[in-house]
Amino acid sequence: MTKKAFIFDLDGVIVDTAKYHFIAWQKIAAELGIEFTPEHNEELKGVSRVRSLDIILKLGNIEASQENKNKWLQQKNEDYLSYIEHMDETEILPGVVNILNYIKEKKQLIALGSASKNARPILEKVKILHLFDAIVDGNDVTNAKPDPEVFERAARLLNATNEDSMVFEDAVAGIQAANIANMTSVGIGDEKTLHEAKYNFKDFTFMDTSFIEAFIG
C-alpha cells in the first residue's frame, strides 16, 4: 500500500506563534509611527518576513532604503526569537498531538511545510520534532505561498505524489498553494475565510481519527 503524506503548516496550525509575530511587528510599526492592528496582522498570515515588512511600510506610506529594511528585519527577528525562547509543549494547539500520534501509529508520513525560518527550534522547544519525517521551511524555499513550492518539496522528500498528500493550513495562501499542487487541502480555522479548502475544521479537536483513516484508505 502506498504511504500517504500529511503536511502541516506551523504557525496557527501546530502552535500559535502568530501572537509573537504580531508583538514583534507591532513594535517595529510603533517605532515608525504606523498603527498596526490585529486585523492588519491577518494580512501577514503565511507571508514571508520580507513581504510582511513591505505590507507594514505600505500601511504607513513609508519608502525605505534596503539598508533600513534589513535593519528592521533583523530587529523583528531578534525580538521574535526572544519571545519564542520560552515556548514549551503547553503551546501546542489542542488536538494536534493526538492526530500526529495517530498518523505515526498508522505508519504514514509527516512533514512540515512552513514559511517560518525558525521552524526547527520551535518544534524542538515544544518537543515534537521527532514526529516529523521531513521539514521544509523558509530556509529551503524561494517562492512564498500561494506558490506550492514548499508543499511540493515536502512531498518529494517523503517520496509521495501530490495526489497522495494532505495539507493542513490556517492561511488562505496556504490553502491556495495546496490546491494548485493538487493536494488535499484542509483548512484549520474559520470556514468562511478558508472556504477554498476541500475540508474545514475549527481546530484539531473537531477532527476524528476516522477522517485520517479515510484518506489513508
User: Is 11 a known active-site residue?
Assistant: yes
Q: Which residues contact 185 (CB under 8 A, 6 or more apart)?
A: 167, 169, 175, 178, 179, 196, 197, 198, 199
What is the DSSP annotation of 20-71?
HHHHHHHHHHHHTT----HHHHHTTTT--HHHHHHHHHHHTT----HHHHHH
Q: Which three cell numbers stand for residue 30?
A: 510603533
Nearest to 136 by CA among 107, 164, 97, 165: 165
Other Cβ atoms less than 10 A from the Cβ of 76: the count is 20
Write down the catalytic residue from 9, 133, 137, 164: 9
User: Is 9 a known active-site residue?
Assistant: yes
Pairing of strands 184-188, 134-136: unpaired
What is residue 195's DSSP assignment? T
**Contact between 132 and 111 (Cβ < 8 Å):** yes
Write down the catalytic residue from 11, 133, 164, 170: 11
Residue numbers annotated as active site: 9, 11
